Amino acid sequence: MENIYILGIESSCDETAASVVKNGTEIVSNVVASQIESHKRFGGVVPEIASRHHVEQITVVIEEALKQANIQPADLNAVCVTEGPGLVGALLIGINAAKAFSFAHGLPLIGVHHIAGHIYANALVQPMKFPLLALVVSGGHTELVLMKEDGNFELIGETRDDAAGEAYDKVARVLNIPYPGGPQIDRLAHESDGEVDFPRVWLEPDSYDFSFSGLKSAVINYKHNADQRGEVINPMHVAKGFQDSVVEVLTAKTLRAARQYNVKQVIAAGGVSANKGLRDALTATFNKEGIPFYVPPLKLCTDNAAMIAAAGTSMFKAGKRSDLTLNGRPGLEL
Ligand code: KG4
Ligand code: ZN
């Protein structure tokens, strides 16, 4: 079979990214322009600023991705772009660039779900085996997704309030750690010599849903109470207590789902899967269980366009195509 070369474009949040992927498994180029520095002083992503950066960066990253891949537009098979979910203004910039590129070069256009992208980041590391269970944990998502076969997604659990990454970032703010606080909390937790005991939120016994707002409030209350008593909290102990609660619940629910659905592979995806505490816990749990567990390297866990190209390749092979009416869909379902 002939090789398939896909250009992926991602602009759903605060990274402007473009990538060329071969056969859905091999990264030829992977360019990411991060805006984190610009959002830091606001403590989170400011949509208006994100859009402005995307406008400035989008053609630069696309040209750079093609240059690094040493490929001409005519040698591509399709252009794949994140359709949603995400910030609508941010999504539209990637989508319009993808539409223009596909129109100018006569290439098929394919809209890709951002979470499908995070899951297919794993295809860039090793072959995906089905049925597969994916724990998707990012700044906007906490989901357990069952894939019975390629291209088939079943949402079996999701957060009822805050996403895991959102909880990390909010707890970080309480501890005066700049955005995005996830990596810092992870580091503090690892260096800690003690921990504050925070609650685990399990919801109904048979539920695969998650809830993190109660835990977040517990951390905020702990800090307020200490402030009122004039006491100084130990940020390491707070970070460790918070992280242990998040990791224990995520790991236990993922294990229960993996058993119930008898999966052949478990993968973690999304920005929070960069978390060392979570990686270690999932690795140990599934080693013991005898189910192969994978998590992509850090660079592929956070937002990038190679994952969009990888998911797009599966859609391309399945004959899926979008047309020029493709629109940004902030609440797009998997
Ligand atoms: O997937 P991602 O790059 O963007 C979204 O689609 O949301 O995820 C970003 C999120 C942020 O909330 C960030 O704090 C979190 O992932 N994150 C982490 C770690 N690295 C990134 N959370 C906990 N531990 C980490 N090591
Ligand atoms: Zn993401």
- Which residues are CB-contacts of 35 (< 8 A; sequence separation ≥ 6)? 14, 15, 16, 45, 49, 50, 53
Do 225 and 155 sit in the same domain of this protein? Answer: yes
Q: Is the CB of 296 under 6 A from ligand 1?
A: no
* pLDDT tens digit sequence for 164-179: 999 999 999 999 998 8
Q: How many domains does the chain have?
A: 2
Ligand showing the shortest atom-to-Cα distance for residue 39: 1
Question: How is 231-295 classified by DSSP, letter by letter?
Answer: PPP-HHHHHHHHHHHHHHHHHHHHHHHHHHTT-SEEEEESGGGG-HHHHHHHHHHHHHHT--EE-
Q: Is the CB of 303 under 6 A from ligand 1?
A: yes
Q: Which of 7, 12, 8, 6 lies closest to 92 in space, CA to CA?
A: 12
Q: What is the DSSP letter of 300?
A: H
Q: Which one of 272, 279, 304 would you pick to mutate in the ligand 1 pocket, going by the greatest count of ligand atoms within 8 A of its CB?
A: 272
Q: Is the CB of 162 under 6 A from ligand 1?
A: no
Nearest CA to ligand 1 atom 8: 271
Do 83 and 180 sit in the same domain of this protein? Answer: no
Q: Residue 156's pLDDT band (boundaries 50, 70, 90)?
A: very high
In 3-state terms the chain splits into helix, strand, coil percentages (rounded to 5) of 45, 20, 35
The per-residue pLDDT for 310 is 98
Q: What is the mean pLDDT of residues 312-318?
A: 98
Residue 323, in any domain of the structure? no
Do 69 and 152 sit in the same domain of this protein? Answer: no
Q: Is the peptide bond before 297 cis (omega within 30 degrees of 0)?
A: no
Q: 168-177 long-range CB contacts below 8 Å, 24 or more apart?
A: 168/246, 168/272, 169/44, 169/139, 170/216, 171/216, 171/219, 171/238, 171/239, 171/242, 173/43, 174/219, 174/220, 174/223, 174/238, 175/223, 175/235, 175/238, 175/239, 177/235
The domain that contains 40 carries what CATH number? Answer: 3.30.420.40
Residue 327, in any domain of the structure? no
Q: Residue 325's pLDDT band (boundaries 50, 70, 90)?
A: very high
Q: How far is the CA of 312 from the centre of ligand 2 (A)?
A: 15
- Alpha-carbon gap, residue 290 to 36, rounded angstroms: 38
Do 77 and 93 sit in the same domain of this protein? Answer: yes
* pLDDT tens digit sequence for 258-308: 999 999 999 999 989 999 999 999 999 999 999 999 999 989 998 999 999
Q: Both ends of the chain: CA-CA distance in Å? A: 29
- ∠ Cα 259 263 264 (to 5°): 130
The per-residue pLDDT for 246 is 98
Atom of ligand 1 nearest to the CA of 274: 26
- DSSP SS3 for 321: coil
Residue 196, in any domain of the structure? yes
pTM attached to this predicted model: 0.92
Residue range(s) defining the domain that contains residue 9? 5-120+301-317
Residue with tokens 């970080």: 172
Residue 55, in any domain of the structure? yes
Do 312 and 291 sit in the same domain of this protein? Answer: no
Over the chain, what is the mean pLDDT? 95
* pLDDT tens digit sequence for 195-248: 999 999 999 999 999 999 999 999 999 999 999 999 999 999 999 999 999 999
Burial class (CB in 10 A: 0-12, 13-18, 19+), 245: buried
Residue 325, in any domain of the structure? no
Q: What is the mean pLDDT of residues 24-40?
A: 89
Do 139 and 42 sit in the same domain of this protein? Answer: no
Do 249 and 187 sit in the same domain of this protein? Answer: yes
Q: Which one of 45, 168, 240 would you pick to mutate in the ligand 1 pocket, going by the greatest count of ligand atoms within 8 A of its CB?
A: 168
Do 100 and 13 sit in the same domain of this protein? Answer: yes
Do 166 and 233 sit in the same domain of this protein? Answer: yes
Do 184 and 251 sit in the same domain of this protein? Answer: yes
Do 17 and 113 sit in the same domain of this protein? Answer: yes
The backbone torsions φ and ψ at residue 107, rounded to the nearest 5 degrees and listed phi first, read -105, 150
Ligand showing the shortest atom-to-Cα distance for residue 142: 1
Do 258 and 148 sit in the same domain of this protein? Answer: yes
